[in-house]
Amino acid sequence: MKPTQNTPKRAILLVRISDDKAEDARGVGRQEADGRALADRLGWTIAEVITENDTSAFKRRKVMLPDGSTALRTVRPGFRNALDKLSSGARDGLIADDLDRVARDPRDLEDLIDVVEQRHIPAIATTGSMRLDNDAGITMARVMVAIANKSSRDTRRRVARKHQELAEEGKPGGGGFRGYGFTRNGMEVIPAEAKVIRWMAERILDPVEPWALNRIAADLERRGVPSATGAKWSGRSVRSIVTKPSVAGLRAHKGEVVGPAVWSAILERDVWEAVCATLAGRAGSTDLTLKRWLTGALWCPLCRHSLTGWQGNHGPRYWCATPLGGCGKIAIKADRAEAEVATRVLDLLTKPNILQRLTAIATTSVTEDVRRELAEDEAQLKQLAGMWARKELTFAEYREARAIIEDRVKESRTLVQSSAPRVLRSLLAGDVRKGWERLTPAGKREVVLTLLPDGYEVGPHDRSRGNAFDPRRLTPRAALAA
Residue choice 303, 375, 379, 389 for contact with Zn ion (CB under 5 A): 303
Q: Cα separation of 261 and 173, whole Å? A: 12
Measured from the CB atom, the residue of 225 and 324 that comes closer to Zn ion is 324
Q: Could you tell me which stretch among 130-138, 295-303, 374-382, 426-434 binds Zn ion (CB under 5 A)?
A: 295-303
CB of 290 to Zn ion, least distance (A): 23
Distance of closest approach, residue 273 Cβ to Zn ion, in angstroms: 24
Judged by beta carbon, residue 242 or residue 320, the one nearer Zn ion is 320
Identity at 239, one-letter amino acid code: R
Smallest gap from Cβ 304 to Zn ion, in A, equals 7
Specify the residue, 332 or 447, whose C-beta has the smaller distance to Zn ion.
Answer: 332
Give the type of residue at 77.
P
- Single out the segment in contact with Zn ion by CB under 5 A; choices: 15-23, 290-298, 324-332, 340-348: 324-332
Q: How far is the CB of 318 from Zn ion (least distance, A)?
A: 11
Return the number of the residue (10 or 329) whose C-beta is nearest Zn ion. 329
Residue number, 332 or 424, with CB nearest to Zn ion: 332
> x/- string (CB under 5 A) for Zn ion, residues 254-293?
----------------------------------------
Q: How far is the CB of 169 from Zn ion (least distance, A)?
A: 19
**Among residues 309, 326, 421, 441, the one that binds Zn ion under rule CB under 5 A:** 326
> Applying CB under 5 A, which part among 60-68, 110-118, 300-308, 374-382 lies near Zn ion?
300-308
How many residues make contact with Zn ion (CB under 5 A)? 7
Is there binding between residue 300 and Zn ion (CB under 5 A)?
Answer: yes
Contact (CB, 8 A) for 418 and 205? yes
Beta pairing, strands 256-260 & 250-253: antiparallel
Residue with smaller CB distance to Zn ion, 79 or 299: 299
Binding mask 411-450 for Zn ion (x = CB under 5 A): ----------------------------------------
Instruction: Rule CB under 5 A: choose which of 159, 231, 327, 478 binds Zn ion.
Output: 327
Q: In the complex with Zn ion, which residue's Cβ is closer, 245 or 309? A: 309
In this chain, which of 320, 321, 409, 424 binds Zn ion, going by CB under 5 A? 320
- For the bound state, the minimum distance from the C-beta of residue 321 to Zn ion, rounded and expressed in Å, comes to 9
Backbone phi, psi, residue 50, to 5°: -110, 135
CB of 331 to Zn ion, least distance (A): 10
Binding segment toward Zn ion, per CB under 5 A, in 75-83, 213-221, 297-305, 376-384? 297-305
Task: Report the interface residues with Zn ion, using CB under 5 A.
Answer: 300, 302-303, 305, 320, 326-327
